[in-house]
Amino acid sequence: MAMSINTNAGAMIALQNLATTTRSLEMTQLRVTTGLKVSGPKDDAATFAIAQNMRGDIAGLGAVKTNLSLGLSVVNVAIDAGKAIADLLTEMKAKAVQASQEGLDSDSYTALHQEFTSLRAQIETIVATAEFNGKNLIDSGATDMKVLSTVDGSTITVTKQSIDATSLSLHTASLSNATVAATALTAISQAIIDVSNALASLGAGAKRVDIQADFTGKLMDILKQGVGNLVDADLSQESANLQAFQIKQQLGVQALSIANSGPQAIMQLFNR
């Protein structure tokens, strides 16, 4: 092989190999740093595009899950309020049964009526405060609630349940004497049934929302795992690659140094 001081083929080859090793080392270091084997479109355009679409789906599902959580909170507040009202109705029924007894004196009727009206007022207070995020499902002006359940706009409808004193026909009930107390007792018995039915309806709605929220969370986990499978780096493999490329880089530097020292041998040809 001819020797030349103008063209050092060995140095050029060593430099090319060193450059290749350096690029591979930089890529491996980036993967170790970011934890990603595909961090941008230049790494793998098709995989990056697929991963981005899946990330968009995850973001959409995240918004849906938030709406489901808010909707579930609204229903749960209504359910808790309904349970409290059911307890109050039980107490009111007991007072009505007492007042239905003939022969009580006026003071007894007055005391029972005052307790009765106090319990009824508490029902109104509970109904007025059973609100979450600006939505009340149990007052007289309540409307059905539509909860976003999928990214394509599907909704779950939770039917409103008006269980205030007026809707339960208790707003005019009185225990002032045995006759009106008997009428109030009938109204309260029906109100207890109505509230139980309302709670059943709200419970069914809450169950649907809860199931959908749970499914949405699991779907998000599956998509996140899918994105990870596409773009996450195998750090154990990258660790091994990192050590290998570091050694190759050191050897490449030595090879380049040896190749660059080759032309020095030409000087020996002219030394006599």
**Residue 35 DSSP symbol:** S
Give the amino acid at 184.
A
The predicted structure's pLDDT at residue 265: 67
| Residue count (the chain) | 272
Q: Which residues are bridge partners to 156 per DSSP?
A: 147
Residue whose structure tokens are 């109705």: 89
Does the pLDDT of residue 72 top 70, yes or no? yes
CATH number of 47-231: 1.20.1330.10
Task: Indicate yes or no: pTM above 0.85.
Answer: no
In percent, the amount of the chain with pLDDT more than 90 equals: 61
The beta strands (E) that lie in 55-112 are given as: none
Q: What radius of gyration, in Å, describes the C-alpha atoms of the chain?
A: 39
Q: What is the pLDDT of residues 202-260, one digit of tens each?
A: 999 999 999 999 999 999 999 999 999 898 887 788 788 778 888 888 887 887 787 77
Does the pLDDT of residue 272 top 70, yes or no? no
Q: What is the pLDDT of residues 94-138, one digit of tens each?
A: 999 999 888 788 899 899 999 999 999 999 999 999 999 999 999
Hey, where are the domains in the chain? 47-231, 234-272
Alpha-carbon span 267 to 80, nearest angstrom: 97
